[in-house]
Chains A and B, each alone.
Chain A
Amino acid sequence: GAVVSQHPSRVICKSGTSVKIECRSLDFQATTMFWYRQFPKQSLMLMATSNEGSKATYEQGVEKDKFLINHASLTLSTLTVTSAHPEDSSFYICSARQSLRDTQYFGPGTRLTVL
Chain B
Amino acid sequence: SQQGEEDPQALSIQEGENATMNCSYKTSINNLQWYRQNSGRGLVHLILIRSNEREKHSGRLRVTLDTSKKSSSLLITASRAADTASYFCATDAGPNFGNEKLTFGTGTRLTIIP
Partner-B contacts on A (CB < 8 A):
4, 6, 34, 41-46, 49, 91, 93, 95, 97, 101-109, 111
Q: Which of the residues B41, B44, B105 comes within 8 Å of A43, measured between beta carbons?
A: B105
Residues of A contacting B48 in the complex (Cβ-Cβ under 8 angstroms): 102-103
* Measured CA separation A109–B48 after assembly (Å): 22
Residues of A contacting B35 in the complex (Cβ-Cβ under 8 angstroms): 106
Partner-A contacts on B (CB < 8 A):
3, 31, 33, 35, 40-45, 48, 88, 98-99, 101-107, 109
Classify the interface of chain A: helix, strand, loop or mixed: strand
| Chain A: CB-nearest residue to B89 | A43
Contact yes or no, B45 A105, CB < 8 A: yes
* Measured CA separation A33–B42 after assembly (Å): 15
Residues of B contacting A34 in the complex (Cβ-Cβ under 8 angstroms): 101-102
* Measured CA separation A88–B88 after assembly (Å): 23
The 5 A-B residue pairs with the shortest CB-CB distance, nearest first, are: A108-B42, A106-B43, A43-B104, A44-B104, A106-B42
8 example contacts (A-B, Cβ-Cβ < 8 A) are as follows A42-B107, A43-B88, A44-B88, A46-B101, A93-B43, A102-B99, A103-B45, A103-B99
Contact yes or no, A102 B107, CB < 8 A: no
Classify the interface of chain B: helix, strand, loop or mixed: strand
Q: Which of the residues B40, B41, B101, B106 comes within 8 Å of A49, measured between beta carbons?
A: B101
* Measured CA separation A108–B38 after assembly (Å): 10
| Chain A: CB-nearest residue to B109 | A41
Contact yes or no, A104 B41, CB < 8 A: no
* Measured CA separation A104–B99 after assembly (Å): 7
* Measured CA separation A105–B40 after assembly (Å): 17
Residues of B contacting A42 in the complex (Cβ-Cβ under 8 angstroms): 106-107
Q: List 18 additional contacts besides A41-B109, A43-B105, A45-B104; criterion CB under 8 Å.
A: A42-B107, A43-B3, A43-B88, A43-B106, A43-B107, A46-B101, A46-B103, A93-B43, A97-B99, A102-B98, A102-B99, A103-B45, A105-B45, A106-B43, A106-B44, A108-B42, A109-B41, A111-B40
